[in-house]
């Protein structure tokens, strides 16, 4: 089964491709466990996917890092900066809210944008995220990361797939099923020919040529809802 291959692939530190749904963003993201990320993985996401390289975090991890949603920060500061009210994302065509939190660089990076720098930031998020499953890590998070930075963080919804079925929640569920730390690097796959998101057909062809697994979101949902049953 594709889901079993995907779990083995994620455990092995390699990429899995995940499509959310045709009635949602209708995008395929390249995903990999954050703790496994090396500079070559960042280069692959940058060159072969081309979207925004982000890190999705389990809500428990995000909570123990004390990470807010970016919209919450904007709301708190809107009394001083009116532009934060006027640009409120209340008209998303595919969702009710954005998963974006703050962006970070690891404190040992230079500019933060190079493949080496982003790999360090992402892999250290994975390492520290494993510890954050067990309790508050706010102080250690601050000792390791500065903000703003070049790696946007995505906070999965409390309740996970029961509350929201975006790529953020899908890949966190996939990580949980695989038994890896639920901190996952993701990047949208784009199509330079059409100027749009890469189609499922094209993404499947890419996966087939490289021996990768291409999953639909509903496959993850079924496996997650059926775990232990």
Which active-site residues does the annotation give?
29, 54, 94, 105, 150, 188
Structure tokens at 194: 């059409």
Please give the Cα distance from 76 to 161 (Å, whole number). 27
Cβ-contact 183, 55 below 8 angstroms? yes
Query: Of 117, 195, 175, 189, which Cα lies nearest the Cα of 150?
Result: 117
Q: What is the largest distance, in Å, between two alpha-carbon atoms of the chain?
A: 53
- Cβ-based burial of 165 (10 A; exposed 0-12, middle 13-18, buried ≥19): buried
**DSSP classification of residue 170:** H
Please give the Cα distance from 77 to 80 (Å, whole number). 6
- Calculate the alpha carbon distances from 79 to 70, 73, 75, 85, 227 in Å: 15, 11, 8, 8, 46
């Amino acid at each position: 089964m594709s889901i079993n291959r995907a779990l083995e692939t994620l455990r092995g530190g390699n990429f899995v491709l995940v499509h959310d749904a045709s009635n949602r963003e209708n995008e395929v993201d390249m995903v990999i466990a954050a703790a496994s990320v090396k500079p070559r993985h960042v280069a692959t996401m940058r060159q072969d996917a081309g979207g925004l390289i982000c890190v999705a975090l389990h809500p428990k991890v995000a909570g123990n890092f004390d990470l807010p949603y970016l919209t919450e920060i904007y709301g708190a500061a809107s009394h001083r900066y009116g532009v934060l009210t006027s640009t409120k994302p209340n008209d998303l065509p595919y969702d009710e809210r954005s998963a974006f939190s703050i962006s970070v660089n690891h404190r040992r990076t230079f500019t933060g944008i190079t493949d080496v720098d982003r790999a360090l930031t992402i892999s250290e998020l994975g390492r520290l995220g494993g510890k954050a499953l067990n309790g508050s890590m706010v102080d250690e998070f601050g000792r390791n990361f500065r903000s703003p930075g070049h790696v946007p963080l995505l906070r999965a919804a409390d309740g996970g797939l029961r509350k929201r079925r975006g790529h953020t929640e899908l890949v966190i569920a996939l990580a949980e099923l695989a038994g890896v730390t639920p901190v996952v690097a993701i990047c949208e796959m784009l199509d330079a020919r059409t100027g749009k998101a890469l189609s499922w057909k094209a993404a499947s062809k890419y996966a087939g040529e490289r021996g990768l697994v291409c999953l639909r979101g509903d496959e993850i949902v079924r496996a997650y809802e059926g775990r232990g049953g």
